[in-house]
A and B are shown apart, each in its own frame.
Chain A
Amino acid sequence: DIQMTQSPSSLSASVGDRVTITCRASQSISTYLNWYQQKPGRAPKLLIYAASSLQSGVPSRFSGSGSGTDFTLTISSLQPEDFAIYYCQQSYSNRYSFGQGTKLEIK
């Protein structure tokens, strides 16, 4: 099975900061990598698909990059509504797996 590892596990930042979250796959997954945002008590929400494509309706301050085994999610200027947990997920293998999550907290 493909293991997805995110870093950091938690992150404190301020409104207006630029933030980067990293996701590493245990084997190459090309660009079959998606990012989700989850707020307390809510279902995950798709942000980025195919490593770098922005889902419709998602603000342009979110961006994704990477291929192979190393990927990043960047938020260019944090807004109050961005404080949440972020998950990466691979769709290369049909044993879909998620990273353990990165909790983004207000500093």
Chain B
Amino acid sequence: QVQLQESGPGLVKPSGTLSLTCAVSGGSISSSNWWSWVRQPPGKGLEWIGEIYRSGSTNYNPSLKSRLTMSVDESENQFSLNLRSVTAADTAVYYCGRRCTSTTCPTYTFDIWGHGTMVTVSS
């Protein structure tokens, strides 16, 4: 079955760029699904960051859009997140996930998640 694994630095300096990658295994990133990022600050709830399709089409949370870039690498079966000009408020566990839009999974859900990676913004 499809599995996701986040990777990237656990510590980013203020005003720097947070860069994460999500590797997809057990399935193809070129399937008819969207690939998403969700974050969770310590002790708080879930915030949807944005998503990308295999074609490179994106859909971003308006509150983060000005600082956000997502990309997809079909050859490596992975997708990535870059969040610029980070502050302490961006400290969170970052999850990658699949938003199902095909007929082979529960449509319009985040049905598969990575384990999450903690990113701390601090000097």
Contacts and interface: CB of A to CB of B under 8 A. Distances in A.
B45 A44 contact: no
Contact of A46 (B109, B114, B115, B116): B109
A50 B108 CA distance: 8
A59 to B, nearest CB: 16
A49 B106 contact: yes
Contacts of B107: 49-50
Given A43-B114, A43-B115, A55-B111, A98 B47 contact: yes
Contacts of B47: 98
Give the size category of A's interface with B.
20 to 34
A62 to B, nearest CB: 14
B95 A43 contact: yes
Given A43-B114, A43-B115, A43-B116, A98 B46 contact: yes
A94 B107 CA distance: 13
A44 B109 contact: no
B46 A87 contact: yes
Q: Label chain A's interface by main secondary structure.
A: loop
Interface residues of B, number: 21
A43 B113 contact: yes
A55 B95 contact: no
A45 to B, nearest CB: 8
Interface in B28-67: 36, 45-48, 59, 61-62
B110 A46 contact: yes
B45 A100 contact: yes
A79 interface: no
Contacts of B36: 96
Contact of B59 (A36, A91, A94): A94
10 contacts: A34-B108, A42-B115, A43-B95, A43-B115, A44-B46, A55-B111, A95-B48, A96-B110, A101-B45, A101-B46
Interface of B: 36, 45-48, 59, 61-62, 95, 97, 99, 106-111, 113-116
